[in-house]
Every structure is written in structure tokens, then in C-alpha cells.
Structure 1
């Protein structure tokens, strides 16, 4: 296949459920070298053996006993080839490719609302600030009855169907019938679709006097600028130390990881380099003059911190710029390049490994797992088994003399033990079946509170009787929970309920502020920044 004029490189991300493992979508960046080939796929000089694939498809199309969808046949053939290469190479059909781009770039054409399906009724639980829905007059708590001419309440409509009704070309209008305070207005709310931008930063605030906190959701197209501006604003508020939360961040654009890491260095530093069998070694350096070059820095990571997040973490650790706190990161150290087909589908092909400044590869071992090939529809799910055990690879020393290792993921400098309650199967079921959301949106959304966000954050705690009502609610749904387990899980469940109530009343920022009040990772980071070792 011949490549075109522009190259996109991907590092696997966690943002879609289209492929295995949940951390398999890519991150791309446009390389600086203008003369490099790029991402257009067109046929050239194929060998006789290569033509066999096309000949087989033509044979099926022209001679097979039944009519078949030849596009599905071709997609299946490509999927079969790509999925057997490694856990990260992937093939995305056009709508999957478009969704990947929207997620990574943080932009889409729609109206900017988030809803929850409560008892087969769609209730608005969040509005994007300044988005089309907010401008049109929608409120949190409104229930959607009809979108256009389609009834959406009480008809068991799927999320995919709702998305098709709400989304559309920028500048087009859609009428939405709602119910507000149990009253259904005669006239619908008309909203004009527009481009909606979602920040890649979940929250930015002063968590303690002198200490700023930034949680990064993904490395999107604007993350570098958003992060720099956030740091500047925190410094204006007196931040001399920083907690950077990269937990559950599956990655994003490769060059945004380099740009973010640059903010921690005054001079030009090696951040990462890539190399592969068909890729020469290429080094990527920080830009000079970072916005946070000398303050205390704690980086929070966990087992879902992957790829681009690991690039930032590795650079901070290798250069002794900050302290890594949490649990071993995911261990995704392979780079994908994106190739586009003319129909809008894409192939994200693994082309190189990346290495931290000291030369560490943090890619975990992977092997084929053929035993999981159960049926045609699921034969590729779980095809690859990733090694979850950590074995020290080659040892490296930082300039301060600290030993770090290659191998599966990045080991933190300070380890936070896993909360056994968070791993409890009953608690996992609560999350999977959205019981906490159902309880909160059914009980706490009747009317807005009479107190301010400051009072809520400082003093609100779930009343005792509400926790008992939650347990009664879950038991009524058929779940069995012992009194002992009810007591063991109380703190984690109450924290989730309080955070969700805060999000509904006061927005996304309140959710994380409430969660951070009793977060073990955050407590460890604040303690370290307050009393760093001498």
C-alpha cells in the first residue's frame, strides 16, 4: 500500500467499547517531518499471493450460493488479519473511526447535554456550559418526552437511537418536548445544533492553600493549551505545588503528552523516543520555558493510566522532576500509525515502541489466547492475554540515584494499596447496573438545595437514614447483601452518592471535589507535598 503526505501516530486509549480490553483505541499526532509518507491507502504492485484475498472476495460476490453483504465480508477479512497482529492494532469502520476522532478531539456536532435513563425516561443530568442546550433554556432535571416527532419516554429507546435523533449537522434545529417539575409545556424547546467542545480537564482547583489540583481526562487536541492555562491560573491563586491526577487516563494525542510534559521543565529535555523494525529512532524533546518548572509535583497513577499518560509519568520520574504516587500503570508502550481508507474506515497499525528518557520500555508482555475464541461474533474478544504480573526488567538509575525499571507499566515511587471494598463484586455490580445513579436521581432531584456549593462541599454528608434506604432499594431489586458487607462498603458507597448529588446540583467540578475529600491517593499526595523528604 502506498502512503500519502501526512502521518498520524496513535498510542492506545480507553475511550470506546468497539474493541478488546477497553484500552485499545489510539492516539495520533502529526509528525514534524514534512517529507514523511502519510496515511492514504491505495493499491500498488501487489504480489500474486496478495491478490488471492481480492480474488476470493470477488469469487464470493459473483458465485456464492446466497447473496451476501460484500462490505461485511471485506470488513471481516481485514478484522481477521489486523486482530491477529497484536492487542493494539485495530480496524475501525467509518462510524467507529468518526467516534474515535470526536472523543480524542473533544468536539462533536450536537446540543451539549448529558442524560440518564431513569425508569425508561431520559432525564437531563448535566449541561455543557455555554452549549446549545443551555442557551436554548434546558435545565438539569428536565425529562425528555419527544425529540422531533419521535417519542422517547416509556418506549425503551436505545442510546444509539437517541444519539441519532439529537446529533446532526451544525446549524440545523431540533424540537424537544420536555416535562419540567411534572408539567409538560405545550410548546417544545427548539435548539440549534452547533459544534460542542468538551474540555479534556475534568477539574482544576486549589485543593489546599498553596497546592493546586488538576485532573486530566484524556490527551485531546487542546489539552496542551488547556493544561498550561490551568497551571497559570492556579499559580495566580498562589499554587506553589501541584497534584496532577492521571488516574484512569487512557491516553490521547501523542504530541499533547510531550507538550504537557514540557510544562515541567525550563530547558530542553528528552521526553520520549520511538523505534521499530521499520522505524528509525526518533527523539522528542520538551519545549523550553514550561509553566511549572520548579514547584513540588505529585503525579497520581493507577492500573488504568496508559500510553500518553505513561509518557508524561515516565519523563517526570526519569528526570526526578516529581514523585509518582499510586499503583502500577497499565503498561502500553507501543505506537500506532493511522491509515485511512477512502470510505472513512481506518487501520491503526502498530509500527514502533516508545521508550522513556532513560531508555525504559514499559510495554507489558502479551501472548495469543486462542482459548477465548468462542463464536464468530466474539472470536476476537480476549484474543490477546496481557501479563498482569510485574517482574523487574532492566534496572536504570536516575540522576538522583533512584532505581527504576523497564517492564510492564511504571511503578510509582509511593504505592497506594488497593481498596478491597472497591474490588468487591457486590460493589462492582452496583456500578455496572447504575444503582447509585438510579437512587440519586430518583430521590435527590425533586428540588434544588437551599445552600451554596461552598456549604455543600464543606458540610454535606449523607444522612444515616438515606444509606439505609439505599440498601433497601438495592435489596428490593433482588440483590443480597449481608449486614457486615453493608457496613464494610458504607464509606465508599456514601462517597459515591454524595459526589453524584454534588454533580447534579452544582456541576462536574463538585463531583471531584467531593470524591477527593476522602480519596487515599489524594491524601497521600497532599501529605507528601506538605512534608516532602529532605
Structure 2
């Protein structure tokens, strides 16, 4: 190790130790559950070295050879500490903290517009119903030329820049200049920014005459409330069975997951309990008298189902309330609390582990990947190695006699095989490149379809010649697709393209309805809920 590098690490560690003390002694505690107002941080004892750290800070500020950015050093020091605790504790800068809050709370101040950068032109691909953009007259298909005085057409402008231009304080105005139907509009679209509410429920609809379907992307502040509303609507439409899709749901608010799980139980039952080194055992029960306590239930999970969504799946499984279908979930069984600093930054700190009603811990094993410390520039990326194997640990039995095991995520009752095509590097590269959207928006957005959404969902299929053209399009972009891969990926890519067409013309709901037509998980769930005679 070079002398200079070692000194830099010492400086970072010095700041880290000092700032940890400040975090523990001076931080305001935010109780997510709002039911433990007496909670406080556990103080640690002071030592002579604690004051020594402050002396070092003063020394650096007053005597160091170069000017120091104290804020930057402090942020780096806190991040250094938090990143070495466990895979889930994290330190967020003010802008990262705000983005996390907006995602979980489902609110931000803007105009309610989705766009896609098509050939360096911002194309409107989604307009929120009754949102500011729709009220101002903007439509799907509009091309944005300028935002206020900033030219955005013909430039490879970053999305974060566009977001900054579009968003702003509620009540403020943004002016948009557009091209509609290849004609440059002389009209300036004046859009008054407002609070935008985005539901964490992707879609809710009757997938079969007696089967309702709800897909949740995360557990945000209003998820349980929205779910309760959707359940009531589905029951009015004749839903006697339910598919709850928690695939790719990475979690969210702990207490919201408990409230949502409560909807499946008529009596008060233990949903989950938590324990930690500084947290006594706390038990969380269903509220009782849920809105969906009788009908059949299937919960879909996969390897990206994590945290709060695993709480729901675990409670349903432990109480024999429904059938878990899919693949073993991620295995994140640690609860974080938010500790906010006055400057808007935040520490998400792991404070306890959670256990399913039977006492199962579904946390995957994790170890520090110290070999990564050689690369100081990216030392926090991939610091933690997570165990991908599944070894049966302690065995538990449900009241119905099912054998369940702790450790390594929630193992489904009905296991689904992995689609190797969806995991192939070629397909992943195609998806990440956004060439699917680019091809669809260039070829299928010239005029509105002459059919309804129901006709589209029942009868529209991408013509074979269009799929062939897309493969040629990929080749022209430097992505080579062999004849074998062309055959292997055809069903998957065609469903993606059909779903994008559906979303463009009929909205977000159509996207999921189209994808579900080809989904083996959905087919298996329906077989369980409505067995053929």
C-alpha cells in the first residue's frame, strides 16, 4: 500500500469514527410504525478517544495543507461506516433520500407525463389521467421540442436533466413546445405543476370470470389502502379467487406489508415478529376482519421478491391461507429504520431481524467480500457476498401439516422452472438497450388502431414479418442474433413488443394484460384456483 493511500484511509476512518458518535448521540429517530413513541437510540459510552476525534477534526480544518470540502469528507466517512455493517444499511445523500421518499410515498410535484427519447427527440408515451399534462391538452405521441427556454429536440439529453426541467414546485408553470402529427404547433402548452400521486399497484383486473388479479410493485405509503379498494372492486365484479403478484417486488414499508397481509385474515393472527440486539421481541398482528378472508388465494413470487413482500408471503404460507407459486424469494429478513439528518440526508439502519409467524428467519447468509477493498474507487460496490445456495435449516410444521424451513428466502409450495431465454445475456442486452421500444415507437405509432382495447387484447399478435424486421434492426445496431437464438427468443420478444404497443395506445394496464397472456406463472395459478373438471 502506498503511503498516501494509507493516510487517506486513516483520514476517512477518523472522520467516520467522529461522525458515528454524532449519529448515535444527536440523531432524530423516525419510527416507521408510529406505535412506539417512546423509542430512543441506545447511547454508547464516551471515551477519551471520542474527544480525540474532535481534536483531529479541528486539526484538519485548521492546519491541513490543502482546502478540504468538509461536507464531502463527512458524507464519505458516514458511507464508509454504514457500508461495512451489513448489505442493507445505507447512507443516502439529500437527493437520494428525496427520491426514495417519493418512490415509497408515491407522490412528487410535476406534470404527470411519461416520455421516451426516440432518436434524440422526447416522445410522449404516457399521460396521467386527469393530471396537469392531460388537462393542458398534451397527448400520447407528441414530440417535445423545448421545455421553457431549453431546447431538448435533436440533443441526446439525459433523463435526469429532463426530470429537473419538468418537475418543480406545485403551482409553478412550465411551457412546452411540441410537434404533433409531424406539424410544429404554434401553441405553447402551459402546464401548471401539481402533486402527482402514483399508485404502487401496477394493475388490478378480472383475469378470469371468477379470478381477480393484482400486481404490486412495492409497498408504499398508500399500498394497503389502494389494495383494500381494489379488492372491494374485484369482489363486486365477481372475484371469488385472487392472484396476488409479488414478483420483482423489492419491499418497502414494513407496517404497510402487515396491514396488507391483514386483508386475508378474519381473526387477529400473528403476522411477523422482530428481534435485535437493542430491540426486544415485538409482535405484529393482523387487524382482523379483512376484506378478502374466504376466497382462494395464490401468491406469485420469484428471486426478486424481497423484504416486505416476503413478510406477506411468509404469513400466508405459515397460516395455510393460500398457495405460494414461483421460485424461492430473495431472502431479506432484516428490518431497517430511517434516521434523518437536518440537511435532508438519511441513514437507513438495520435494527432487527424479522421472523414469520412460525418463527422462520428467511434471511440469506452474507459475508464481507474483502477482496473488493483493493479497488478503493469502487470499494462499496459488491462489498457484500450473498449466499445463493439454499440449505434446509430448522424445520417447522403448519397446522395443516406442511413442512416449511427457515433460511434463504420463502420456498414456494409450487415451484416454477426458470426461463433460460429470459436470463440469457443476449435478451438482457436487448432489453437494456431500449431497442424494443425504439423499434415499436418508430413503426407502430403512426396512427391510432381501429379497434378497442378488448379486441386488441383478444386478437392482436405481432406479424411474423415485423419480428423478422426487428432482428434485422438489431443486427444493424451491432447486436448479432443467430438463427437459433431468433427462434428461441421469438415468443418472449413478440410478447414484449405487443405489450409495448398495448401500453402506448391503451395505457399501463394493457401492458400487463398482454404480458399475462403468455405467463406460465399465471396459467399455473389459474389451474390451482379454477381446476378443470
What TM-score does the superposition give when structure 2 sets the normalisation length? 0.93
Distance change >3 Å, CA 320–CA 419, structure 1 → 2: same
User: Partners in 1 of 2:33 and 2:277 — Cα distance?
Assistant: 20
1:58-96: per-residue Cα shift (whole Å, max 9, x none)?
A: 333322222231111110011101100100110011111
Paired residues of 1:143 and 1:180 also in contact (CA < 8 A): yes
Alignment-derived partner of residue 7 in structure 1? 30
Paired residues of 1:373 and 1:379 also in contact (CA < 8 A): yes
Larger radius of gyration: 2
Alignment-derived partner of residue 306 in structure 2? 306
User: Partners in 2 of 1:458 and 1:304 — Cα distance?
Assistant: 30
Secondary structure of the equivalent of 1:489?
Answer: helix
| Structure 1 position 266 matched with structure 2 position 271 | no
Q: Report the CA distance between 1:337 and its aligned residue.
A: 1.4
Paired residues of 2:27 and 2:339 also in contact (CA < 8 A): no
Distance change >3 Å, CA 319–CA 144, structure 1 → 2: same
Alignment-derived partner of residue 50 in structure 1? 50
Q: Report the CA distance between 1:35 and its aligned residue.
A: 2.2
User: Partners in 1 of 2:363 and 2:502 — Cα distance?
Assistant: 38
Paired residues of 1:245 and 1:299 also in contact (CA < 8 A): yes
Paired residues of 1:5 and 1:35 also in contact (CA < 8 A): no
1:279-312: per-residue Cα shift (whole Å, max 9, x none)?
A: 0000000011100001010000000000000000
Alignment of 1:279-428 (within 5 A): 279-373=279-373, 375-428=375-428
Q: Report the CA distance between 1:56 and its aligned residue.
A: 3.3
Of 38, 59, 67 in structure 2, the residue corresponding to residue 35 of structure 1 is 38
Secondary structure of the equivalent of 2:461?
Answer: coil
Q: Report the CA distance between 1:57 and its aligned residue.
A: 3.5
Distance change >3 Å, CA 148–CA 48, structure 1 → 2: farther
Distance change >3 Å, CA 2–CA 70, structure 1 → 2: closer
Alignment-derived partner of residue 105 in structure 2? 105
Secondary structure of the equivalent of 1:373?
Answer: helix
Q: Report the CA distance between 1:119 and its aligned residue.
A: 1.1
Secondary structure of the equivalent of 2:207?
Answer: strand
Paired residues of 1:251 and 1:308 also in contact (CA < 8 A): yes
Give the unaligned 5+ runs of structure 1.
Answer: 9-28
Which protein is richer in helix relative to its size? 2
| Structure 1 position 92 matched with structure 2 position 92 | yes
Secondary structure of the equivalent of 1:122?
Answer: strand
Q: Report the CA distance between 1:6 and its aligned residue.
A: 5.4
What TM-score does the superposition give when structure 1 sets the normalisation length? 0.93
User: Partners in 2 of 1:92 and 1:298 — Cα distance?
Assistant: 36
Alignment-derived partner of residue 120 in structure 1? 120
Q: Report the CA distance between 1:380 and its aligned residue.
A: 0.3
Q: Report the CA distance between 1:375 and its aligned residue.
A: 3.5
CA-based RMSD: 1.7
User: Partners in 2 of 1:186 and 1:7 — Cα distance?
Assistant: 50
Secondary structure of the equivalent of 2:183?
Answer: coil
Paired residues of 2:29 and 2:339 also in contact (CA < 8 A): no
Q: Report the CA distance between 1:217 and its aligned residue.
A: 1.2
Q: Report the CA distance between 1:440 and its aligned residue.
A: 0.9
Q: Which has the higher contact order (CA 8 A, sep 6+)?
A: 1
User: Partners in 2 of 1:135 and 1:405 — Cα distance?
Assistant: 53
Alignment-derived partner of residue 236 in structure 2? 236
1:103-130: per-residue Cα shift (whole Å, max 9, x none)?
A: 0000001111111111111111111111
User: Partners in 1 of 2:188 and 2:481 — Cα distance?
Assistant: 44
User: Partners in 1 of 2:54 and 2:133 — Cα distance?
Assistant: 48
Distance change >3 Å, CA 119–CA 2, structure 1 → 2: same
Which range moves more in the overlay, 119-128 or 407-416?
119-128
Paired residues of 1:57 and 1:73 also in contact (CA < 8 A): no
Distance change >3 Å, CA 335–CA 3, structure 1 → 2: farther
User: Partners in 2 of 1:57 and 1:85 — Cα distance?
Assistant: 23
| Structure 1 position 435 matched with structure 2 position 449 | no
Distance change >3 Å, CA 59–CA 511, structure 1 → 2: same
Paired residues of 1:57 and 1:74 also in contact (CA < 8 A): no
